[in-house]
Amino acid sequence: MSIPHDSDGARARAFGRRGLLARLLALGSLPWLAVRAAGAAHQRPTRAFAAEEVATALRELFGRDDIPLSPKVRIGVARLAENGAVVPVKVDVDLPHVDEITLLATRNPVPLVGRFTFGPRTRPFVAARIKLAETSEVLAIARRGDELLMARAAVEVTVGGCG
């Protein structure tokens, strides 16, 4: 849990203009069908992944950090996680469709865990396993167009898992 914080920043810079361009070119020139099929519109939220604060990550992702809680977003996660290295999480949203679901862990050194962007016929549901560095909250944010809805769930971690 004690990486110097500047390494994230350094990586973010390396991912910056030139790195990103090189990456896009590399992707475009290789026959990795699925990744290419996803199109050039997709952009990794590099700055959000570099953020060390939840509010900063939210502003990078959504342009705001005051996202309203909604009972329409449901997080399925155990209240007590013995092993923070592997914490199963599932999120579903009580809406016909959402554009994406984003997961954050409030006390992780890098709070942004992942962003899942859905196609038009993908149900507003995702399940994954995440790492929790320590006892914290898991945030799930569903985006449908400009509408943002959030749920939060507290998880007590016995053994931290950012190893």
Partner 1 sequence: MATSSIKVRTQLRQGQLTVRALIRHPMEVGRRLESGERIAPRFITRVVCTLNEEVVLDADWGGGIAKDPYLSFVVDAAQAGDRLGISWVDNQDGRDELSVAI
Looking at the Cβ atoms of 46 and 70, the one nearer to partner 1 is 46
Q: In the complex, what is the shortest distance from the CB of residue 83 to partner 1, in angstroms, rounded to a whole number?
A: 9
DSSP output for 66-95: -PPB-TTEEEE--SEEEETT-EEEEEEESS
Residues 102 and 37: beta-carbon distance below 8 Å: no
Closest contact distance (angstroms) between CB of 126 and partner 1 is: 5
Q: Minimum distance between the CB of residue 39 and partner 1, rounded to whole angstroms?
A: 8
Residue whose tokens read 């599932």: 90
Closest distance between partner 1 and the C-beta of residue 68, in Å?
23
User: Which residue lies nearer to partner 1 by CB, 16 or 88?
Assistant: 88
Q: Where are the alpha helices (DSSP H) in 38-78?
A: 46-50, 54-62
**How far is it, in rounded angstroms, from Cα 58 to Cα 46?**
12
Cβ atoms of 66 and 142 closer than 8 Å? no
CA distances from 103 to 58, 91, 106, 117, 152 (A): 11, 9, 10, 12, 10
Nearer to partner 1 among residue 67 and residue 128 (C-beta): 128
Which residues of the chain form contacts with partner 1 (CB under 8 A)? 1-3, 7, 11, 26-27, 32-35, 37-39, 42, 44-45, 49, 85-88, 90, 103, 105, 108-119, 121-123, 125-131, 161-163
Q: Which is nearer to partner 1, 19 or 65 (CB)?
A: 19
Q: Which is nearer to partner 1, 43 or 68 (CB)?
A: 43
Task: At 77, list the tokens.
Answer: 């996660």
Dihedrals phi, psi of 27, to nearest 5 degrees: -65, -45
The distance of closest approach from Cβ of residue 66 to partner 1 in the complex, given in angstroms and rounded to an integer, is 23
